[in-house]
Structure 1
Amino acid sequence: MSSSVDFSFATRPLVPYAHDYRHGDSEPRHHHNCAQLVHTLSGVVRIETDLGHWIVPPGRGVWLPAGVPHALQMTGNVAARTLFVDPLARADLPASCQVVQVSPLLRELIVSALALPESYAPASRAERIYELILDEIRVMTELPFSLPEPQSEALISLCDALRAEPGESWTLENSARRINVSSRTLARRFYQETGLQFSDWVRRARLMEALARLARGDSVLTVSLDLGYESQSAFSAMFRRIMGVAPSDYFPPAS
């Protein structure tokens, strides 16, 4: 994340880095000449790139290939553990931005890497940990926490409006009328430009907004109604289906 980290890969294939952020902290658009895996222990990180928006809930991670310009916004107190990875360390590192599942093994390996020396002997424990981290990065599971950006001006405007007012009625028919096309044309063009069905994009946008609002302390009921759900139970069912737990368990109220 931070541009102040030493990115010398002369003696090791990756550089681990730990940094905590306060609610509302941000980093302006920048890029690195190395790849990044940002793993969050708490709080929510929003990443913006030219290709789309990603949101990283607690316990997950985001992979950013080398050279991708990105900006970050923190919601809640974010404890981040980052790996800066030599893009030449492996030939088959992920080639695209993606939010990923961080396995318990990878999480513990990242913690261990923070205490490793920069230089190490061949076949040493340090070398084995670094190599195992690279093995785990190669098999990370991608998660549906991204919002790919369309390319046409009309669809960009529609998506901006949706993000600004996620609680409005964003049916395919209503949305098509907003940009003066048929619902069939909107459905076709939207899938062509984003790779997602329009309804899936709307669902993801609402989930990403919900994660940010819950991380800053909004109640589940308030988030449910603000995002256009008929009831708290309907929102909680959607959240549980995607996240695996109820929103009250994922972001427990502060004691």
Structure 2
Amino acid sequence: MTRQSDFDFSGRSVIPYAQDYCHGAYESWHTHSCAQLIHTLSGVIRVETRHGFWVVPPSRGVWIPADIPHALHITGEVKARVLFIEPLARADLPVACQVVSVSDLLRALIVSSLNLPSEYASGSRDERIYELILDEIRLMDTLPFHIPEPASERLRQLCQAVREAPQEPWSVASAAVKISASGRTLNRHFYQQTGMQFAEWVRRVRLLHALARLAQGEQITRVALDCGYTSPGAFSVMFRRVMGVSPSDYFSQ
């Protein structure tokens, strides 16, 4: 059963909230009548919806529109700062789930908003902070941390097998044998249902699996090999290409 959470926006269009989670915590399926931005200061949050997964590494955020059923899986000690946002606060707010970058300015504004009163005078500094938060949300860049879920049960089972054993080779040929299909058929149906080639989907699963483990302080070498990379160097090249920095630099920030 999906829980529904409602908020009172009569005094303000943005409601900030601080939430810390212990490793292994889980928030069962629920929805909000408003949009939501979850910004992680530490740890990793995996957001599950009916259409796939979004993995939020430290210092990033996830945007969840109103009325989207979702569940949260927590890895590591997560410090999260959350904004609940009235759906009509801006006409051009994002309309789909997405992992996003959080600018230094937006991060500072979120922290400041936690200490603001629930009601404020028109034209006041408090009002300007809330309005600037909404302006910054419209400028957030989308990050490739989404793992789409296919519709067919046969492909869903294949995807679950990949998530459970990302260290396996998982070539198109071997995956096709697992579902009793040709490689061409697998690629065609997988792309039709997810918008991604199977090999690209596997690479993204490995990256996000690695992010969750690195956030717990595991050694880069062990994580790289366990995720199917031939060497820590190959893993670091992939990580830098996607994240912009090396694994060690990212988690030392």
Q: Could you say which TM-score interval applies, normalised by the shorter chain?
A: over 0.9
Letter in 1 for 2:209: E
CA shift for structure 1 position 228:
0.9
Q: For the aligned residues, what is the CA RMSD? A: 1.7
Equivalenced residues, count: 251
Is the 8 Å Cα contact of residues 42 and 77 (structure 2) preserved in structure 1?
Answer: yes
1:124 aligned onto 2:130: no
After TM superposition, the score normalised by the length of structure 2 is 0.95
Partner of 1:245: 245
Taking the aligned partners of 2:206 and 2:4, their CA distance within structure 1 comes to 34
Taking the aligned partners of 2:191 and 2:58, their CA distance within structure 1 comes to 29
CA shift for structure 1 position 5:
8.6
CA shift for structure 1 position 249:
2.2
CA shift for structure 1 position 180:
1.4
Partner of 2:175: 175
Taking the aligned partners of 2:49 and 2:229, their CA distance within structure 1 comes to 29
Identity %: 62
Partner of 1:8: 8
Taking the aligned partners of 2:216 and 2:157, their CA distance within structure 1 comes to 27
Taking the aligned partners of 1:25 and 1:217, their CA distance within structure 2 comes to 18
Is the 8 Å Cα contact of residues 149 and 194 (structure 2) preserved in structure 1?
Answer: yes
Structure 1 spans left out of the alignment, 5+ residues? none
1:201 aligned onto 2:195: no
Partner of 2:95: 95
1:158 aligned onto 2:149: no
Is the 8 Å Cα contact of residues 4 and 30 (structure 2) preserved in structure 1?
Answer: no
Structure 2 spans left out of the alignment, 5+ residues? none
Paired residue secondary structure (1:31): strand
Paired residue secondary structure (2:32): coil
Letter in 2 for 1:222: R
Paired residue secondary structure (2:63): strand
Taking the aligned partners of 2:105 and 2:187, their CA distance within structure 1 comes to 41
Deviation readout 1:53-110 (Å, 9 max, x if unpaired): 1110011000001111111111111110000001111121111000001111111111
Paired residue secondary structure (1:87): coil
CA shift for structure 1 position 217:
2.3
Deviation readout 1:16-73 (Å, 9 max, x if unpaired): 0011112122211111111100000111111111110111001100000111111111
Paired residue secondary structure (1:181): coil
Taking the aligned partners of 2:212 and 2:138, their CA distance within structure 1 comes to 28
Is the 8 Å Cα contact of residues 150 and 190 (structure 2) preserved in structure 1?
Answer: yes
Is the 8 Å Cα contact of residues 5 and 32 (structure 2) preserved in structure 1?
Answer: no
Partner of 1:210: 210
Letter in 2 for 1:86: E
Letter in 1 for 2:108: E
Taking the aligned partners of 1:92 and 1:249, their CA distance within structure 2 comes to 35
After TM superposition, the score normalised by the length of structure 1 is 0.94
